[in-house]
Structure 1
Amino acid sequence: MKMPKYQLFGFIALAAFSVVSFQNCSQANFSQVPAQLASSTPDNSNTTDSASPNDGPSTPDSSSGSLSANDITLAVNKNVILNITKASIIAANKGSMLKVDSVGMPNLGTLTAKGTTSYEFVSATIGTATMSYTISDSNNNVASAKIIVKVVESDIATAPFYGCNLQGKLYSLDPTTGTLLKEVDLTYNGAKLPCSDMVISNSGVVYGKDGDGSNKIYTLDVSTGKATLYQGSLVASGNRSVGLTLSVDGLSLITSEETDPGKSSQTNSLIQVSKSGAKTTLIPATDKYTMFGGDVKLLPDNKMYWTITNETSTLCRNNPKAGNQAVLRYDPVANEKKEIACFDKRNIFGLGFASKALYGFSEQGNLVKVDINTGNTTLIKNTGLTFIGAAANPILW
């Protein structure tokens, strides 16, 4: 089987949120604040609670006589100031002429009002800070929800989405727009480290797989790009590890092991590898699924999504409108698998779920939206970046 120019883009799982902008308030050890409402620019709104046109005014609510508010999840490093503007709280909700009536005190850290337009949150302790907020509209409807801030250590992922490549670059991005937020060089023992895939744990630890063929796993400091060896080769010598995710309990790594990679005799099996190196086969090579780039990722529904080739897909091999990849869903608890979609375009390697939709990256860096029911794609943006591995942050799922 012919392999793509680049081995894979990582499967990514995205929460359904809107990232307005990001702020770097620390003078050291800070990457990005992944927030629906973290502001990196001065708030030029007027002294009322309503957003001015420059702040992105709220849209009219088509419903009548009711208002609802959305919970907002953020993450920030400890001892780093997170600037929360009223305008961005409004932007996270829908309604007519919304205004922020109040934001409550958090159970962790401190919140300080800055004039009439924003607040500053900071915590010297890691943990989860929760605070309530209340909004109202022009019809005097009132609604409340929560702002949840995950406070983490400086070397833990705090941006919503990361990508890496064989040139040893680590990118952090706004996944809803494809905007590049930060770029660092990945290094191990002072030398540049090529990267072929990534996964982020539920505690924000970033694992990266090398791109030099040794199939080693590293933990990555996303602020500095420094890598630390975590585990030796995931697969047998001469084989190739494609894709990377974590088991449901977060204690083992999962990958697709390719035997005879790139040859007509290639086989793929889905395996689970413990920290000690003990291997468990989840989907054996005898099931005869193969890959063309792609990935495997565990999503918040506790099921794994594995990209396979059309030629090994019962659902897609005879579909004249299909591209060259299908998605297989695997339930590790019930040990059940099902093919769920065929892509209409070829070579879509990076995928992520957001608001019951899929987003994907092509080899050329095109960000596309995928209809999960049909596999049809819609171009959102060409990012101008090359991704080999990618991962979203489950802290923000």
Structure 2
Amino acid sequence: MSSATRHAQVIGAGLGGLTAAAALAQRGWTVRLHERDPEIRAIGAGIYLWGNGLSVLRALGVFDEAVEGAHLGPVAESRDRHGHVVESIPINGEHGPELYTILRRRLIDALAGAAARAGVEIVTGSTAVAATPDGEVKFADGTRRRSDLVVAADGVNSRLRDSLGLLRRRVRMPQGAARMLIPRRPGFVAPADEAKYIEYFSGSRRILYTPSSADRLYVALVCSTGDEHARRVPLDKDAWLRSFPLLEELIGCLDAESRWDRFEFLELRRWSAGVVSVLGDAAHAQPPYLGQGGGCAMMNALGLAEAVTFGEGDLETRLRRWEAAERPVIQHTQRFSYRLGHLNPLPDRPRAALLAVMNRSRSLARMRMRAATTIPTGMNRFPA
């Protein structure tokens, strides 16, 4: 059977699902994309997209559309509660990795547009509840649909993954964050710092300052699950001001009605069962300390489309080879990010010392940026 006659069902219209749907359709597959919500929507505020994710946008032909109005900062810094720099990573320069910060809504719209232009049939209000290894998907309304390939990109609580018994380990991290997007204006930080990406530490709390466009600022407030005042919703601004008095003006402008979400980490026994593949948070969720959740999902989705279209052997063999090719980088990134979470509960001085060591170590820098500097599979095959 040629790829032009093959049909795929993609479950979930997040970054991984949209990328997979668009890439498969561009390679000759007929694709039906199922999204359980009434419309495709962006969950979150801003997003860090490193070189690997940006390369996927170029491969899909939507780079210019997706990054229009995005922010390119000169450096990513970690600072203590007094504002002292303890780690500095040059970016977007001759010797630094490529990084754009993008409004998540713009990125989702660009990927959805690529999928639609490639001929993907997008079905909203369609909830998949289970799958079988032979490619049959069962939906909440009782209907069943069979296809040559199923892509389960239905999030960390994936019902398709669990119906196939693929989960090896799931860890609910002892940290989480409130994320919000607010109008960007002078005065939140010093004028010389306004274009930078800055993560502030104080005790077990973090504030992430991320310009995401000329007029929007993405802010994340990270704390431990046991920090009742810091994770309170509506937001307890006084609690955060006590930890970060230098950021008084910024904290005063934060949305008191923000939502707090716990970080998760999970690994699967395998990324596929029969002709059903799993990717994105459903397969390799990770805490956000490397900013690679979205980039890894997109990179893996492009690699999947390449493997099932141009690989050798039957589809199950191609899926096994896809996992063998893509999993090492993504698993390394997951685990590195997981370990960075261990910095949160450390006292300020030991943590600052460890960050300074990381800042000086070339080998740790390479390990940290392994995914960001990876060239995704399929970059040599651009859409027609």
Query: What TM-score bracket applies, with the shorter chain setting the length?
Result: under 0.3
Bigger share in helix? 2
Bigger share in strand? 1
- What is the TM-score normalised by the length of structure 2? 0.23
Q: Which has the larger radius of gyration?
A: 1
- What is the TM-score normalised by the length of structure 1? 0.22
